[in-house]
Amino acid sequence: MTRNSDFDLKTHTVREFNATLHAAEAGSFTLHNPGGAHALACGVNAPLAITIKGHAGYYCAGMNKHAQIQVEGNAGTGFAENIMSGVARLTGNASQSLAATGCGGLVVVEGSAAARAGISSRGVDIVVGGDVGHMAAFMAQAGRLVVLGNAGAGLGDSIYEAEVFVRGTVDGLGADCEEKPMDAESTSAVADLLEQSGLDAEPSDFKRYGSARKLYHFSVDNMDDY
């Protein structure tokens, strides 16, 4: 089923909006007056084009598969949480836990993100045009986080095989996170993600961070880092 529909939360409910998205197999959908409502466009499982014109609350675009979702405003906790595929874009700022546990797809925040951006990511690519708060990429298992601004304290704490690229300053690295060489492959990866996100920066300006691999296996010598 293909649909092209406009919704307005002054006259429709979140349940009605989401139910229509879940029933559609293709089409374009626009939501007006979201008013910071929670769980908008969650669990979409089709290649839909969804535009939310205004601010969203918690867990907007959560569990997304295949859809292209754009929020023209800010979003609360857990934007694009557990995203599987597709693209989730935010033109404003994101609250904490951006794209938490994301398994795939691309998440773009044109503004800044608060604490724990990319926490426990499992394969999602995240590009943030501004800054990220403390503990970004905490326990990140796979995927990439690109930050055009600065990063707060505890970057990459207990990180596994995810990669983090920061153009600005880093307030401090978390346990078992270290700076790594910015080789040709890394520069190419950043260039590709910048192109996909539509954000402008010079790839060679970024520094790369990842796991020092000292915490993979228990060692009494590293007891203070656990």
DSSP one-letter code for 180 = E
Above 70 in pLDDT, residue 217?
no
Residues 149-177 pLDDT 10s: 999 999 999 999 999 999 999 999 999 99
Above 70 in pLDDT, residue 19?
yes
Which of 189-193, 203-207, 220-224 is predicted least confidently?
220-224
What CA–CA distance (Å, rounded) separates 137 from 216?
Answer: 17
What CA–CA distance (Å, rounded) separates 111 from 92?
Answer: 5
Tokens in use for 83? 């995203």
State residue 215's pLDDT score. Answer: 73
Residues 72-113 pLDDT 10s: 999 999 999 999 999 999 999 999 999 999 999 999 999 999
Q: Give the N- to C-terminal CA distance of the chain in Å, as an integer.
A: 51
State residue 122's pLDDT score. Answer: 97
What percentage of the chain carries pLDDT values higher than 70?
93
Interval 52-58 mean pLDDT: 98
Residues 120-141 pLDDT 10s: 999 999 999 999 999 999 999 9
State residue 4's pLDDT score. Answer: 66
Above 90 in pLDDT, residue 117?
yes
Interval 184-213 mean pLDDT: 97
State residue 214's pLDDT score. Answer: 83
CA distance readout (Å), 78 to 40, 61, 99, 116, 147: 12, 9, 6, 10, 18
Sorting pLDDT into bands at 50, 70 and 90, what band is 220? low
**Assigned fold of 2-225:** Pectate Lyase C-like (2.160.20)
- For the entire predicted model, the pTM comes to 0.94
State residue 221's pLDDT score. Answer: 65
Q: Which of 127, 59, 120, 124 is nearest to 95 (CA)?
A: 59
Mean of the per-residue pLDDT values for the chain?
Answer: 95
Domain spans of the chain? 2-225
